[in-house]
Structure 1
Amino acid sequence: MINKDLWAKIEQFDFDQTPSEYDFTLRLAHENYWTQNFTKQVILEYKKFMYLAAVSDMMVSPSEIVDTVWHQHLIFTKSYSEFCTILGKQIQHIPSTHNKKDLQKFKIAKERTTKLYETHFGKQSETIWNHANPFESLNLKKSKFKLRTSLIIGIVAFIILIFPLYFLLKPLYLNIKNPDFIFLFLGSIIVSIVGLEWYNRRKFSQAIHLFDKDSFVLDLQPYELIYLQNKNISSVINGAVNELIDNGSIKINEDKTISTNKLTFIRSREHQQIIDLLNELGKISYPNFLIQLITKPVFSNIIRSMEAVKKYFNRSKVFSNLFVLNFVIFLALIIFGFLRIVTGILRDKPVLLISFAVIILSFMMIGYLFRLTNLFSSKVLPHLYKTEIMPKKDTNNDWQWSYFLMGTAVLTTSFVPLTNRLISANSDGGCGTSSSSSDSSCGGSSCSSCGGCGGD
């Protein structure tokens, strides 16, 4: 039976006892490319693990993800000391030496931990307890080659195949006159694009069904999804500021500047950061305020975690195969048109129209492949939330979910002109609000060498 008094104290322990711009929770999320909900869930699992360590007289062992939280908590020495006081004993972190004796000891400890966990808390989270990092819950095999490699190979193949294909296709070109060839060429392009569009979305849908049911990707917050859709963190900030204008925490002044009211209503980390910065700066124009907000960890973490999701998916075998297929089909169409141009030039025939079509197709290929790299994050995943996940949630009275669904249509009327000024400032070379990709590879940091903890 669970010790309710002890668990209540552990559950209520706040790792962010001194709220700051870069506190325990936000640092944990930021350094590991974790989403907000996943970070909260992992901290809860860490508390459960430490409860088991407190009530067990034998060694228990964390998962690699839980161990990541433990490592950071050890750095916050004051907080860790206070936490151990609540636990009733000092929980020691014992690293593994990777010898056979240790491996067997930690294997037994892990099995013991699973049994204890199920006795006190029920079934363990698959994502947190059986994976080295949350991205493994997507169950996507990593591609053996980079997209850049496929592009280089494709260009080389284009050059090599020009000569044999020219002689192979020459009889066909001689038998098809214009404008029949143009109609055939344009028809092939249309059919190919329609077919690729259907096939791409089908493969994306199949990939989603590979995800664990408790995968972190299926538990994103509205602002994270808004960033995925728009690839612009200013859209997220606009929503958070609008919430504070709606509840009276921020006022819009006659000179189109913003400032805080005496009474503020804070409902999220985003709100807290906005109010703290606005109190520090005082009355300020919204474009200038936005420039400073973008760099704050609470917003940059949304960029980092969502870009990590996109990057991980784009490095998967599923996506790489799909990208290559799209590239090959477009390249085949370009070769087909290019060789028609060569044939026409050698026969002194007009080639202006087909040349124009091939140039347009080349630009279309670049745009389409670039769009493909964003399709999962900007279209497929948000669509999944709108059609399958949101209907199962109680989102009717949640403004953030309404903003995700309807965009700027739900912004406060008095606030819209300020965002329009922001757009104008951007177009004039003013404040930069475009997103930047995460600055290192995703996957988070976890210590696989940790064996477990020793009870007293």
Structure 2
Amino acid sequence: MNTERWNNILAFDLDFPQAEYGFSVRLANENNWNKNFTQKAITEYKKFMYLAATADAMVSPSEIVDTVWHQHLIFTQSYQAFCAILGKNVQHIPSTKNKAEFEKFKLAAERTTKLYNASFGDQPKEIWSALTIYDGLHLAKGRVKIRTILVIGILSFIALATPFYFLLKPLYVQIDNPYFLIGFLVLTTLTLLGLEAFNKRQFKKIVQYFDRNNFIFDLQPSELIYLKSRQLTNVIHTSVNELINNNALRVNENASIEMSGFGTADTLEQLQIANEVNDAGVITYPALLKRLLLKPVFYTVASCMDAFRKYVIRSEKFTHLFLANFTGLLFLLMLVFTRLVTGVLRDKPVTLIILIITVFIAVIVLYLHRLVNKLFSTTIPDLYKATVLPNIDTNANWQWLYFLSGNVVLAAPTLVLINSLEKNKYNGGDSTGGSSCGSSCGSSCSSCGGCGGD
């Protein structure tokens, strides 16, 4: 291995010169990759390009490495500078998918694995074997969407209402209130408790099937903060707090913000905040948040986590879980609805039953909404607390403390800024507490066969 050449390749900064929508941010956003996975994919791309520059024959990238390569080709000046360091103008040869080329690219892939193992050790499966970032989750796509389940459930409820009425009427005419109401409340309580225990077990099973080298076990605290709360403003609060603690930001008595002239901005997020405050001179926190929510370095966090949520929610395991809960709740609703119909047809007082049905429908809506969010707001954060964080130096990144404890770890000036948001909302100002952004998500280019030739 040519150590000097590899060190130069490894040191090459694909984000130079820094830009608001630079290489790594764009790569993450357009492919819905989280930050650590993006950096890992870039490192593996550099390893592949080292092999391409030093091999005597054609080598072939994985799907994910090829995605990085396609992205780098768009940054023409950076790619030319990179090839200069490689010492070779590495050409991208797209696959035509014909049978004549199949054997050639197969041999190239095998050659790549051997060369990689000789130079760098074992290939990480999440980069070299997976087709997408989600492969290690082992979640097959569901055959029906949740929206379809809801529609079919409501139609089935309507269709079964008459048979249920005739089935339950002989029993209901013999049960007076309050015995029915007491029995219904007891049955509802037991059903909800049973569903809670069932859901907890099923969520744990879903997570247990995730590969330990999958991206979900390598999230940034900011990504977990958003996944847990779906409030991008919470992610921004952490970077603002870091700048305040570094004495780079000054909070004035009227809750406006300006740069202090001291301290430093160390991360892309902090640099973005510093640039916005510098441009404004003095700015209120609601106005600053309104700007920052539109910046790629922040909304990419929301895009990645929202894409992960959508992938899981559309999976077969989750749709089956949702169906089981929805069916159980509809059955309870059918019991009380049939009681209502029986009472109306017998000219009995039904005001209380109508009230119970109204409340129970609201309970169903809230319960199902909570079910959709529980895996992300509770199960995965609890997984990190129990199995991931004990192996991480949380003191190395202050944001872990915010993930664990919330606002209590924020500096006093940061809390003043957050309070100014509440006052702004109360006074009818613009709300900046939305859950996510409206960024568009691009897809990666199709795979290629490999590279070759000078």
TM interval, short-chain normalised:
over 0.9
Q: Which amino acid aligns with 2:451?
A: C
Per-residue deviation, 1:427:
4.1
Check 1:225–1:427 CA distance in 2 against 1; reply closer, same or farther (3 A cut).
farther
Counterpart of 2:429 in structure 1 is 430
Identity %: 49
Counterpart of 1:394 in structure 2 is 393
Counterpart of 2:350 in structure 1 is 351
- 1:15–1:79: 8 Å Cα contact kept in structure 2? yes
Deviations 1:215-269 (A, max 9, x none): 1111111111111111111111111101100111111123321111223322211
Per-residue deviation, 1:288:
1.1
Deviations 1:78-125 (A, max 9, x none): 111111111111101001111111111111111111111111111111
Residue 406 (structure 2) pairs with residue 407 (structure 1): yes
Counterpart of 2:135 in structure 1 is 136
Structure-to-structure mapping, 1:283-294, within 5 angstroms? 283-294=282-293
Residue 297 (structure 2) pairs with residue 298 (structure 1): yes
Per-residue deviation, 1:448:
3.6
Equivalent residue pairs, number: 453
Check 1:388–1:100 CA distance in 2 against 1; reply closer, same or farther (3 A cut).
same
Residue 35 (structure 2) pairs with residue 36 (structure 1): yes
Q: Which amino acid aligns with 1:315?
A: R
- 1:68–1:445: 8 Å Cα contact kept in structure 2? no
Counterpart of 1:266 in structure 2 is 265
Residue 88 (structure 2) pairs with residue 89 (structure 1): yes
Counterpart of 1:313 in structure 2 is 312
- State the SS of the aligned residue for 1:123: coil
Per-residue deviation, 1:439:
5.5
- 2:336–2:353: 8 Å Cα contact kept in structure 1? yes
- State the SS of the aligned residue for 2:332: helix
- State the SS of the aligned residue for 2:50: helix
Per-residue deviation, 1:401:
0.3
- State the SS of the aligned residue for 1:198: helix
- State the SS of the aligned residue for 2:10: helix
RMSD (Å) for aligned C-alpha atoms: 1.4
Counterpart of 1:453 in structure 2 is 451
Q: Which amino acid aligns with 1:136?
A: D
Check 1:131–1:366 CA distance in 2 against 1; reply closer, same or farther (3 A cut).
same
- State the SS of the aligned residue for 1:450: coil
- State the SS of the aligned residue for 2:395: coil
Per-residue deviation, 1:437:
6.0
Distance in 2, Cα, partners of 1:397 & 1:89 = 39
- State the SS of the aligned residue for 1:415: helix
Distance in 2, Cα, partners of 1:188 & 1:49 = 61
- State the SS of the aligned residue for 1:175: coil
Distance in 2, Cα, partners of 1:252 & 1:30 = 32
- 1:307–1:437: 8 Å Cα contact kept in structure 2? no
Counterpart of 2:168 in structure 1 is 169
Distance in 1, Cα, partners of 2:271 & 2:109 = 39
- 1:143–1:316: 8 Å Cα contact kept in structure 2? yes
Runs (5+) with no aligned partner, structure 1: none
Residue 117 (structure 2) pairs with residue 123 (structure 1): no
Per-residue deviation, 1:176:
2.2
Structure-to-structure mapping, 1:3-402, within 5 angstroms? 3-402=2-401
Q: Which amino acid aligns with 1:375?
A: K
Q: Which amino acid aligns with 2:434?
A: S
- State the SS of the aligned residue for 1:73: helix
Check 1:397–1:7 CA distance in 2 against 1; reply closer, same or farther (3 A cut).
closer
Check 1:110–1:318 CA distance in 2 against 1; reply closer, same or farther (3 A cut).
same
Check 1:402–1:195 CA distance in 2 against 1; reply closer, same or farther (3 A cut).
same
- 2:32–2:307: 8 Å Cα contact kept in structure 1? yes
Runs (5+) with no aligned partner, structure 2: none
Check 1:279–1:245 CA distance in 2 against 1; reply closer, same or farther (3 A cut).
same
Distance in 2, Cα, partners of 1:362 & 1:416 = 38
- 2:344–2:350: 8 Å Cα contact kept in structure 1? yes
Deviations 1:278-318 (A, max 9, x none): 11111111111111111111111011011011111101001
- 1:98–1:449: 8 Å Cα contact kept in structure 2? no
Q: Which amino acid aligns with 2:295?
A: K
- State the SS of the aligned residue for 1:124: coil
- 1:56–1:455: 8 Å Cα contact kept in structure 2? no
Check 1:429–1:451 CA distance in 2 against 1; reply closer, same or farther (3 A cut).
farther
Structure 2 length as normaliser, TM-score? 0.97
- 1:10–1:86: 8 Å Cα contact kept in structure 2? yes
